[in-house]
Structure 1
Amino acid sequence: MVTRASDTRSIRLGRLRLTARIFGWMAIIASIIVIVVAWWLRVEVVASLLPGSVTMKANVALGVMFAGSATVAIADKRPRWLVDLLGALVFAIGIITVLEYLLDIPWSGFDELIAPEFANATDTASPGRMGLNTAINFSLIGAGIITHTRRIMLSRSLTVAAGIVAYLAFIGYVLDVPRLSGFTGATQMAITTAMAQIGIVAALTFLQPPELIATDSLGGAIARRFLPGTLIGVTALVSFARWTLAETLEDPLFAVQVTVVLVIVAAMIATAAIARRVNRLSEDLRVAEHQLRAANDELSRFAAVAAHDLRAPLRKIGVFLERTRSSFSRDEGPRALEYLSRAEATTNRMYDLLEDILALGQVDRSEKRVETVPIKAVVDQVVDDFADRGSRDAVQTTALPTLEADPSQMYLLFANLISNSLKYAHPDRPPQIVVSGHSLGDGLHEITVTDNGMGFDPTVASRLFEPFERGSTGALEGSGIGLAVCRRIVETHGGSIRADSAEGMGSTFTVRLPSRQRGTPSDRK
């Protein structure tokens, strides 16, 4: 059930990223059309969309193109320097124009850098100059792009602010209220510009969606379903109200009455739709929770019964075989010694397997004892405990965070990961294991365990964290439970884990964990 929820979230985030990429390319294509057709071929209506209204200036089209390119670069995971460069260009276009307004520069050459202004331009303060609100928005969007991967909350705040300004300008055209589309004495924001900036803000939001939108919770489902509809519905309702008022100037009271009736009807429809959706999601959640509890209870019972019922007999068998082997060693029985040694080794592996199964069930049954845990101290303890396996020479640590977590489960997590790297060391080179971490922002940390071992077939990476699954590196000892325990520990702490590798090239296990656990006193501060 957890895997299915994780897969659903991954699919949802993938769709949002694809939508952002599409919006970015639409912005690039639209801006190129405006520059070439409207400004170079002088077809003014392409830049204004509404005949007689203010045009999207050439510099604005250039800024939209850079912003759209940055969106595509983020979606395609291009190098950070490229994203920063595009964001800086967007910011520069905006801030230079803001300074022109603040310093009251009538003409600087910058506004008509790409193309000259049309004769008798509408609502334009200076030839070729974009609106002050447009320039401020480009400054916000550019800064939001630069901080996109560094300060997620700041980036969201900047882009949302730009989206609100652009939406107000768009509503200004719908209501025919020019003050909403620009400052007095400054160029108005064109309706084409407002639409382009709204699209860019939406794309940047999709690339790092707020938890309210990305979460699998009931609130997330409602937000994804109704927020876009509410925005479009309110815009349509306001537009209809404006049209009704314009058509019934002789009886404005009638226009108000029609608008009130429409608002009431829309509110009733929205309430009914939300209630129906909440009921359906609540039922789905109840069924899923029941199934999850049943599956976890069954797994825990199986692990506990199997481990406790079989561990003692196996220990006795192991003791008996060891004594028998010792007795044979005093006589000449090499073949018997070989068989008994194999039987003893098999018994030990079965015992280890049952210990791992018990540990897997224990993660679900035991309650987390949340403390402030320095991960470096945990890793150092693991290295000391594995000293007889050469861990002190093999393991290096760098920049590990301090998190809220269960210390015993964190020890088990990194003990399994480091043990796995030591176990699958490459026979032709000494093991090298690097445990490092860094902050992803927004209260999330990423910790990687990288080794130079034998690696595994990347096609089995998605199954590697399932119980009894192992990589395709040969028949080495191991129960195939350790990585399943790792995933269970990470998920109970609200995080995620993945594995990347190529056979013969080593492996990297990436763990993402929140800095705070939900429901703890520090989380409620």
Structure 2
Amino acid sequence: MPISSKGFARTSLALIIVGLIALVGIVGTAIWLVERTQGHFEAVVEARETRQAAVDLRNLLQDAQSGQRGYLLTLDEAYLEPYGAAIGAIDAAYERVEGVLAPYPQTEQSVRGLRADIDAKLTELAETIALARQGNVAAAIDIVRTDAGETTMGRIRSMLDTVIDVGDMRIYDGVVEQRGAATALRVVALIGALVIIAVIGGAVLLVLRYTRELDMATDAVEILNRDLEDRVAERTVDLMRANEEVQRFAYIVTHDLRAPLVNIMGFTSELDAALDPVNALVDQYPEDSDDPIVVAARQTATEDLPEAIGFIRSSTRKMDGLINAILKISREGRRELKAERIDLQALVESAVAAVHHQIDESGGEARIDLPAPPIFTDRLALEQILGNILDNAIKYRHPDRPIHIDVDGRQESNGRIVISIRDNGRGIPGEDHDRVFELFRRSGNPDVPGEGIGLAHVRIMARNLGGDITLQSNPDHGTTFIVTIAPDLRVIARHKA
């Protein structure tokens, strides 16, 4: 079944929507899986910390008990060295266990019992060692033989072993969940890739089929041309309509703005040139002719058409300016930044010197105070940023006061360089503070010509230099632009690499 122009457009739109849904699904699912994996990772880290705290406390208690037993058997003071080291670290180890178990209220009673058992065990150890040191080894051994200390130690081990086992289980479950999330992410990516490949394949087949049908329609027109003139005309109209649809589709797809703009300019020139014979024809009739057709033709040739052509040319010039502006921003965005050592004071002085004659003409002044260290950044981009802001300060000066510009700078504690350019111009209303940084947007009703790309361009360059630009303004005091940049662009380039 042949594909109509509308069917082709609908099918193309459907394929685009399917591809977009697949892409959004992949991105959304990937974000969700990443967040989930992060949660499992944090749970594994917490479980490892809990397990390690329990193991450390258990080992310290065992070291203390081993030191006690060794001393009671040999009365060798060397066995008391690990005992003393363990005793000194047990309180800190217990507090660590208590801290990692604090988020779990159900363990509160067990933790208190653990503290009591540890105190009882430490008391028993200290008592037996004291008796042995006094020479009453038999009494110390009798205390050990009661197994009260061993029973207490058993409860401690049981409690800590439970914590360790739970930690091991949580670690295992977290690792399994992380692996599952990674597998799911791979599956989602694979399915999404297959869907996108299918969409691209469908689009290619659709275009090929549509092109083939256009070729077949052309062949049919050629065949019918040899038979019937009426059918030739009919098929020719159909083919022209089909070609127009293809041209419109190609225009939308490629965003070719300049080609139709050039055509408009050319046809406007032709229309302008076509007015000469029309004027010559109208001039053959007297100016006071009462013929309404002559009057209407003269008005059309001398007023309406020139005015319309003027509007067309004005619009095309504006459109050409907008296209050039977009291309300028695009080229600047693709330009490779080159970091070099820059004396910020000298660079700002040079930028201010470029507009100093305009400041002097208004009876104003410029002040520079930049106690900032040398920086490594792209000279051209920074010059363009400063030049654009200073030009705005000149263009949008307040008509009732001389121009006054202050340029201050400082280095913040995080290393970033902050440059403040303050003027006493017209100012910018609060509702336009963000708007002026948007492409083709300007504040208020300016009487200064321009496309509205300057500050948008400045923001792009400032962000390319690892910073940003903001402003503070009101109509009574002027505007302050605050530019932040990274002190060393080479560091940013290394991170990107």
TM class by shorter-chain length?
0.3 to 0.5
Q: Which has the higher helix share?
A: 2
Give the TM-score normalised by structure 1. Answer: 0.41
| RCO higher in structure (CA 8 A, sep ≥6) | 2
